[in-house]
Structure 1
């Protein structure tokens, strides 16, 4: 209204509004370097006018809200970009670890050891009766075995390390989920009372970005300011409640952890974050481990087959050069029957395919043996507890324990599992190296030593040589590592651009805040001047007689 008291009240609202605005500006300046802080601004609105003497007069200004200068789309983009960046970074770290295990740059890798072993076999062929060449061949064989052992040990150690990292990250994810749910409760409580919870929202956004670095997430916000967070389509935060992400080992695949959320496995639904990089790292380690085991088993098989056909200087024959391959069998964790594999062995090395097999029961009395590499049924028959089941150079015995096997029960059989870790030289006496193809050709015959040396260039693993197969492992690894570096660099640049764009909108500019502070100071001084003027006008009226 147009009375002096009305003017006084208008000036008072101006003082209060500008004081609050200065408070917000000061808060911005104080947090200019605070990570995750979003610039705030005061939203002013005109107060409702009043009718006085047939005219409408203003009643001042009010602070409608203190809001964050915030673009939700930018935040979502940055969160997704951070998730992808963490994935590529973690994947690259695991590939670098693999390269350090399998590199041949220092001349001490498998490729060098393979060449040395087969070259020493050629040296024995050149001088079959010489003790020195024979001793060198055994020495190079031991070094080759040790190199395989070392590679397998490091692969297993790194796999265990990745699994440990995943367990720690799962604990971190659960901890972040609890904290986000806590902020949900605080934010809704504050905002339902009509106050903006800007700083609490900033803190929650920091946690959400940290969570997105661990695993890709989807976030939705309800009408009271609470967010729901989903991982792989399954919720982990719903308002102020949380679900627990757990790690459940798979008995059939101890190297790959099962990530369980709300009763379901979500491994295949995780697409980003360092957790995805860890799962990809495990896949790379497992692939390298399987291929190194296959290479080791192939060397053992081919060398032993050829060596057994020859004769040593002492007339011995039929001897294994390397220790025989072991047979591993595992029952599926989903089996409902009570049968178990009690033994397994290689019975015909020449018939061995080095593929993995699965014995599948259609009922208590019948089974099929399926080659897992070709998906072909290689054997079938009627089951009898304790009877030998033979196929492709392998024999296993399955016997009832608590009860007979049931339909759907499965048993995996492998002759390559742990081959690299267990590889060792069976011979200890150089004279027993079977260089001669016949007993009558001793000591000068070298035909069998030549045949062993020729294995180096033979197509022994599919259509490749030992060296070509190993080089394919190293080449594939190098290509994957290069792709990971390229992806990381590109994603890093993209993430930096998004962060810079977000900072342009939501970040604090000291220069802008300083200018705004001067403007607000002048407005505050002007409002104070109005109060002073009204006070003088009132004094004038009071002095009238």
Structure 2
């Protein structure tokens, strides 16, 4: 019997040792990130028969279990993905909001200073000092737009670099998970330390993207990103990387590859930090760049057009203050051709910056379709059929598209960004302060005109011409846009220069006569009348007053916004998105914290509980040891009794 007691005691001591070891390991790893609590399951050994009774033969450790809840772990991954996505969105939006609120305040300030200078010029239109100040303010405005675009470009580069950094880390995790899977296959998924390491890597991966975990019979796990991209399948790891965007190379894309196979992934659908970065870049940052470019086009177009309606200090028709809106440096990036295209390229010409919306468009060509050329607004989804006139596509608001020879091929697709490049390219081209057109000619349309014909001064060629129209000797032009002819009458109604004089119809149609040239634009074949008084006085401020009033004129977005409204609208939109991102981040963090607490309640180490277990197993060990002592004493007594 004492030998049985000794064996029972031995099993008790060994079991208690194992329990103490597991408990000690739990306590030692209480602060180890990703550690899952372990529990030693203790069972009784089979009973032994002695006579008519069965007696227990001791105990043993049947299993050491890792406390793990698949559902709780899945909820934690989902919470981690949402929290990381919301945090990244808030961080990026806060950076952009700060950029517009601090550095970007130079843009509206520059616009205000420019208008203030024009107001001062209206008081003293012939003051060279004030004129120089106006040009200086124009230069500051252009510089602030250039600087703002430079910062937005920096945001674009930083975002792309962050995407590259995340993909590099995902590749490292992918390789590590592949190696862990190989080791787990050897132990059929029983190595708790490897499982903890695997879960920690998967949890980190869930920061970067949505993660789906598929347990395998071999003990390994397959990992999918975004529910569509297999990153790890058993011991096989796929790698992801970045490639130049299509059609815009500076908008990096993500591609996944294994062996010789590769596929492009829509990064915005991956979720997590990657999804947030793609959404921020494609939906907010590019939109902000477009709207800044829209403002730049509006400024250049409005004041260059205003210049053409006035006389400078030399009595000549005003020339551009800013670069022409279709200057090559102002039009960089307006057209992005997809790599799958087989036809010719395009060129976009801005006709009226006030009609632009700041949106991007997708142009597709489908040979043989009722409307082969379709322009889709990528924000609203509205589709506009375009009409081909020669090599020009008409029908878009504010711009026309020119097709290079030999033409487009079926299926060709382009992304059109009318305002791209404008904020980086805008600059002041006027160097002589005398060039500011503060004065204005008096061109009066007849009350009976159809309204279909518009004229625009092109140049003053010879103020010494005998019939040059001055106050008291005005000239009246009767223009027939159907026959492309005109007649001129003096103040007494007498015809000057003959009847039905033809004028050039070369685009744009122009009439040059009696010392000046003007352009004619008409939307119908009509006969309209205009009276010209081109007298010039250095003290005339008519056109400078008109230019100063552009501050409150709704020139933009189809006549619904002022120049300042365009920038303010962008700023308010970014501020609203930043606040929404802050609220979303708070909600996502709450969901994550709840999921984390659940995992900790099940798998985390409770020091108080483990301390109590430690004391309990220590007492069990001591009791088993005492049984061994008792068994030894009984054995000694038996030996003594036989002597």
Residues 159-170 of structure 1: pairs in structure 2 closer than 5 A: 159-170=156-167
Aligned to 2:305: 305
SS at match of 1:254: coil
8 Å CA contact 2:247–2:414 kept in 1: the answer is no
Aligned to 1:175: 172
SS at match of 2:251: strand
Aligned to 2:224: 230
In structure 2, relative to structure 1, the CA distance for the partners of 1:118 and 1:370 (3 Å cut) is farther
Q: Name structure 1 gaps, 5 residues minimum.
A: 383-387
In the alignment, the residues of structure 2 paired with residue 32 and residue 358 of structure 1 have an alpha-carbon distance, to the nearest angstrom, of 56
Aligned to 1:420: 423
Per residue, is there more helix in 1 or in 2? 1
Matched, 1:124 2:121: yes
SS at match of 1:520: helix
CA deviation map 1:1-25 (0-9, x unaligned): xx44333222211111111111111
Q: Indicate which of 32, 55, 59 corresponds to 1:61.
A: 59
In the alignment, the residues of structure 1 paired with residue 360 and residue 630 of structure 2 have an alpha-carbon distance, to the nearest angstrom, of 96
8 Å CA contact 2:288–2:570 kept in 1: the answer is yes
Aligned to 2:412: 409
8 Å CA contact 2:373–2:386 kept in 1: the answer is yes
Aligned to 2:337: 331
Instruction: Pick which of 259-268 and 482-491 moved more.
Output: 259-268
Matched, 1:200 2:194: yes
Instruction: Pick which of 179-188 and 14-23 moved more.
Output: 179-188
Aligned to 2:152: 155
Matched, 1:444 2:439: no
Aligned to 1:389: 392
In the alignment, the residues of structure 2 paired with residue 361 and residue 517 of structure 1 have an alpha-carbon distance, to the nearest angstrom, of 76
The Cα shift of 1:334 comes to: 1.1
In the alignment, the residues of structure 1 paired with residue 361 and residue 11 of structure 2 have an alpha-carbon distance, to the nearest angstrom, of 83
SS at match of 1:247: strand
CA deviation map 1:325-345 (0-9, x unaligned): 2344332211134x345x665
Q: Indicate which of 375, 384, 391 corresponds to 2:383.
A: 375
The Cα shift of 1:226 comes to: 1.7
Aligned to 1:489: 586
8 Å CA contact 1:356–1:371 kept in 2: the answer is no
Matched, 1:253 2:248: yes
In the alignment, the residues of structure 1 paired with residue 621 and residue 68 of structure 2 have an alpha-carbon distance, to the nearest angstrom, of 27
Aligned to 1:275: 274
8 Å CA contact 2:298–2:354 kept in 1: the answer is no
The Cα shift of 1:119 comes to: 2.2
8 Å CA contact 1:68–1:198 kept in 2: the answer is yes
The Cα shift of 1:183 comes to: 1.7
CA deviation map 1:185-226 (0-9, x unaligned): 22232246xxx4112211111111111111111112233432
In the alignment, the residues of structure 2 paired with residue 454 and residue 319 of structure 1 have an alpha-carbon distance, to the nearest angstrom, of 19
In the alignment, the residues of structure 2 paired with residue 363 and residue 399 of structure 1 have an alpha-carbon distance, to the nearest angstrom, of 16
Aligned to 2:514: none
SS at match of 1:256: coil
8 Å CA contact 1:85–1:495 kept in 2: the answer is yes
SS at match of 1:26: helix
Backbone CA RMSD of aligned residues: 2.7
8 Å CA contact 1:363–1:405 kept in 2: the answer is no
The Cα shift of 1:464 comes to: 1.1
- Give the alignment's TM-score, normalised by structure 1: 0.89
The Cα shift of 1:153 comes to: 0.7
SS at match of 2:40: strand
Instruction: Pick which of 241-250 and 39-48 moved more.
Output: 241-250
CA deviation map 1:94-134 (0-9, x unaligned): 11221232115x79422222122122222212221111221
In the alignment, the residues of structure 1 paired with residue 399 and residue 607 of structure 2 have an alpha-carbon distance, to the nearest angstrom, of 78
In the alignment, the residues of structure 2 paired with residue 176 and residue 232 of structure 1 have an alpha-carbon distance, to the nearest angstrom, of 16
CA deviation map 1:493-515 (0-9, x unaligned): 44334333432332223332222
8 Å CA contact 2:318–2:435 kept in 1: the answer is no
Aligned to 2:556: 461
Aligned to 1:385: none
The Cα shift of 1:287 comes to: 1.0
- Give the alignment's TM-score, normalised by structure 2: 0.76
The Cα shift of 1:157 comes to: 1.2
In the alignment, the residues of structure 1 paired with residue 243 and residue 634 of structure 2 have an alpha-carbon distance, to the nearest angstrom, of 81
Aligned to 1:294: 294
In the alignment, the residues of structure 1 paired with residue 370 and residue 408 of structure 2 have an alpha-carbon distance, to the nearest angstrom, of 9
Matched, 1:36 2:34: yes
SS at match of 1:399: coil
Matched, 1:478 2:575: yes
Structure with the greater alpha carbon radius of gyration = 2
SS at match of 1:484: helix
In the alignment, the residues of structure 2 paired with residue 26 and residue 369 of structure 1 have an alpha-carbon distance, to the nearest angstrom, of 74
Aligned to 1:242: 237
Matched, 1:399 2:405: yes
Residues 47-86 of structure 1: pairs in structure 2 closer than 5 A: 47-86=45-84
Residues 314-353 of structure 1: pairs in structure 2 closer than 5 A: 314-326=314-326, 327=331, 328-337=334-343, 339-341=344-346
CA deviation map 1:368-415 (0-9, x unaligned): 554444522232257xxxxx4364664635135xxx743112345554
The Cα shift of 1:45 comes to: 1.1
Matched, 1:430 2:407: no
Aligned to 2:625: 528
In structure 2, relative to structure 1, the CA distance for the partners of 1:367 and 1:490 (3 Å cut) is closer
Aligned pair count reads: 528
8 Å CA contact 1:364–1:406 kept in 2: the answer is no
Aligned to 1:91: 89
The Cα shift of 1:78 comes to: 1.8
In structure 2, relative to structure 1, the CA distance for the partners of 1:525 and 1:365 (3 Å cut) is closer
Q: Name structure 2 gaps, 5 residues minimum.
A: 442-533
Instruction: Pick which of 106-115 and 6-15 moved more.
Output: 106-115
8 Å CA contact 2:104–2:148 kept in 1: the answer is no
In the alignment, the residues of structure 2 paired with residue 159 and residue 186 of structure 1 have an alpha-carbon distance, to the nearest angstrom, of 41
The Cα shift of 1:529 comes to: 1.6
In the alignment, the residues of structure 2 paired with residue 289 and residue 473 of structure 1 have an alpha-carbon distance, to the nearest angstrom, of 10
The Cα shift of 1:440 comes to: 1.7
